Structure 1
Amino acid sequence: MSKVKYYYDPDTLSYRKIEPKKSKRYRNLFFFILGAALFGFLGLLFLMNTNLVNTPKELSLQREVQNYELQFDILDKKMEQIENVLANIEDRDNNIYRLYFEANPIPEEQRRAGFGGVNRYKSLEGFNNSDIVINASKRLDIIQKQMVIQSKSLDEIAILAEEKEKFLEAIPAIQPIRNEDLTRMASGFGWRSDPFTKARKMHYGMDFTAPRGTPIYASGNGKVTRADNRASGFGKHIRIDHGHGYLSLYAHLSKYNVTPGQKVKRGDLIGFVGSTGRSEAPHLHYEVWKDKERINPINFYYGSLSPQEFENMLKFAAQENQSLD
């Protein structure tokens, strides 16, 4: 209830009631309604921009956003794990696999390169979390590219490994006569005394003394290019082309067990010890060629001799004695 106001009338010497004008009353009512409306509008704005009061739809959207944030954190951790695993694989690829197979390492900038030119992420711009989404998309694209590069590298390694296996099978890596069949290792690679002229001359192979008819085995995979007696001094001899620049020669045979053009594998029986050609006694003269140059065969017996047997052979081969051819 509004307060009643009075004023003192000096003419009547009494208090009279103040009667408010209607215009003022309406004005006061207008300002009251206007103030209430403004207060209500400001209060509504405040409530809409705070979390004090939320509608069910807003609560649902908030839970959805929280779920997306949780999923993004999980995705971020998974990407970090993938990046760490890829980094480990790339390190082994460059420093072990490619190094072993003599392939050039893949440069880091090639593995980590981004995508230039057209803006691939323009459609992701303009949102509240655009930076986060764009960064995650870039990381995923780079991870995908790294995986493609690594996959191609492993394909290349697989091919190199297959070629390496063929190469190792082709190298003349075993002794052409078994130790149990040997009488002795008569002469090694180097300067030796000629059995006929007694002059000192270069001996380009190794002489293995064994009884006539002792089996001779191919020292590596390859193709027989010659099995004849048309080479001066060698008598009946066999030549095997192993590829990769390697060739092995077996001389002074009594007979052959292969024909020209035939493919052989390491350990195949190819002929028998004899004393044909320029030979003083039954033995096998064995040579290894690399890129058309004769090299010391003793470096190629890792496939058939124990360390002790190899050491003993080194001692005999180092002796400057008389060769048998």
Structure 2
Amino acid sequence: MTIYGSAQYLAGIYYEEKIKAITADNDDLTSVLSEMRTRISTLQNQIDVIVEKDKALRLYANLPEIDQDIRKMGVGGRVTEDFNLDNLDPEDESALEKMDLNLKALSQTIKLELMSYETLFETLQTQKDRFESIPSISPTKLGYLSSRFGYRLDPFNGERTFHHGIDIAASTGTHVYATAGGKVVYARYNGGYGYTIKIEHGYGFATIYAHLSRMNVQKGQIVRRGDVIGFIGSSGRSTGPHLHYEVRYHNNPVNPIEYIWTDASL
């Protein structure tokens, strides 16, 4: 009886310690699960902000929104199959399974947003390059518009002819600026145009600057919007110091006034 009683006593102590250990483990697990829930919630809030910025960028880049069904890509199964959950109570096991699914969904969302941002970057980079190639500023900061684009009476013979650009009258030596980035295809004396510069900007755009007194660039040179490329003069077939400025799109002359996007009025 003594031995039996001692055995029962020792078994009681053993199982009591076992229960305490399991309870402690469950308390620790509950604490970990609570912390994981908080972190998942924070991560979800951050992803929601990224998604809204993604929508705004797509609107700016003129790209369609990602379909909501694609954003809600289904997930299934559970990572926790690799773990032994026999000692977990049903509530903790259920909570852990939900967190597995939440983490899978967040992972899929992050992958989708990364792919979306790569597409956005490529699209915006192309648009940036195209924008930099479109003439958009006045070729001079001084002067006044002395002749418009379109039909006019020729100042030399009085006949009605088509004027392929605009004329800006200003003092000799006034700076002439590249109206977009590009490559100088020629910078030379060009008959009635006098000293002339032609820049090809890409995407079908080119500009011509004529009747210059001096040129500040040479053939093959790469220029940026706003670079000083020459100086106003009266070379060639000209009645006085002015700049003849043309914008061409696929070699067809277009009205340069439509490609001056600044507040300056000519």
Q: TM-score, normalised by structure 1?
A: 0.65
**Equivalent position to 2:68, from 87, 100, 108:** 108
2:195 aligns with: 236
The aligned residue for residue 82 of structure 1 is: 43
Separation in 1 of the partners of 2:22 and 2:181? 72
Give the whole-Å Cα distance in 2 for the aligned partners of 1:61 and 1:289: 81
The aligned residue for residue 173 of structure 1 is 136
Aligned to 1:41: none
Distance 1:297 1:91 in 2: 39
Give the secondary structure class of the aligned counterpart of 1:280.
Answer: coil
Question: Are positions 1:151 and 2:114 aligned together?
Answer: yes
Contact 2:79-2:100 within 8 A present in 1 as well: no
Give the whole-Å Cα distance in 2 for the aligned partners of 1:277 and 1:224: 20
Give the aligned residue type for 1:135.
K
Distance in 1 of aligned mates of 2:109 and 2:167: 55
Which of 227, 235, 244 is 1:268 aligned to? 227
Mapped to 2, the partners of 1:76 and 1:292 lie a distance apart of: 63
Taking the aligned partners of 2:172 and 2:258, their CA distance within structure 1 comes to 26
- Deviation of 1:93 after TM superposition, in Å, equals 0.8
Partners of 2:40 and 2:160 in 1: CA distance? 72
* Correspondences of 1:11-22 after superposition (within 5 Å): none
* Secondary structure, counterpart of 1:271 in structure 2: strand
Aligned mates of 2:131, 2:102 — CA distance in 1: 42
Does the 8 Å CA contact 1:124/1:133 hold for their aligned counterparts? no
Aligned 8 A contact 1:124 1:130 in 2:
no
Report the AA paired with residue 216 of structure 1. V
Aligned with 2:168 (options 189, 208, 212): 208
Long gaps (5+) in structure 2: 1-11
Cα shift readout 1:209-254 (whole Å, capped 9, x = no counterpart): 1233433221222110122344x74333111111232211111223
Provide the rounded CA distance (Å) in 1 between the counterparts of 2:185 and 2:238: 23
Structure 2 counterparts to residues 1-325 of structure 1, below 5 A: 55-94=16-55, 96-115=56-75, 122-123=81-82, 127=86, 128=90, 130-179=93-142, 182=143, 184-230=144-190, 233-302=192-261, 305=262, 307=263, 309-310=264-265, 313=266
Distance in structure 2 (CA, Å) of the matches to 1:102 and 1:145: 25
Percent sequence identity over aligned pairs? 31
SS at match of 1:195: coil
What SS does the aligned partner of 1:251 have? strand
Larger Rg: 1
Q: Counterpart amino acid of 1:146?
A: T
Distance in 2 of aligned mates of 1:87 and 1:291: 44
Contact kept? 1:252, 1:283, Cα under 8 Å: yes
Gaps in structure 1 of 5+ consecutive residues: 1-47, 49-53, 314-325
Structure 1 residues 137 and 82, CA gap change in structure 2 (3 angstroms) = same
Match of 1:18 in 2: none
Q: 2:220 is aligned with what amino acid?
A: G
The residue that corresponds to 1:25 in the other structure is none
Q: How many angstroms apart in 2 are the aligned matches of 1:110 and 1:281?
A: 65
CA shift at 1:147, angstroms? 1.7
Letter in 1 for 2:117: L
Instruction: Go from structure 1 to structure 2 and tell me whether the alpha carbon gap of 1:107 and 1:67 turns closer, same or farther (over 3 Å shift).
Output: same
Contact 1:223 1:261 (8 Å CA) reproduced: yes
Paired residue for 1:323? none
Q: 2:141, 2:18 → 1: CA distance?
A: 89
Which deviates more from structure 2 when the two are superposed, residues 79-88 or residues 102-111? 102-111
* CA deviations over 1:62-103 (Å, ceiling 9, x no partner): 232133123213322321232222122112212x21222334
Q: CA deviation at 1:298?
A: 2.0
CA pair 291-120 structure 1, distance change in 2 beyond 3 A? farther
SS of match in other structure, 1:212: coil
1:55 partner SS: helix
Cα RMSD between the aligned structures? 3.0
Distance 1:56 1:126, change over 3 A: closer
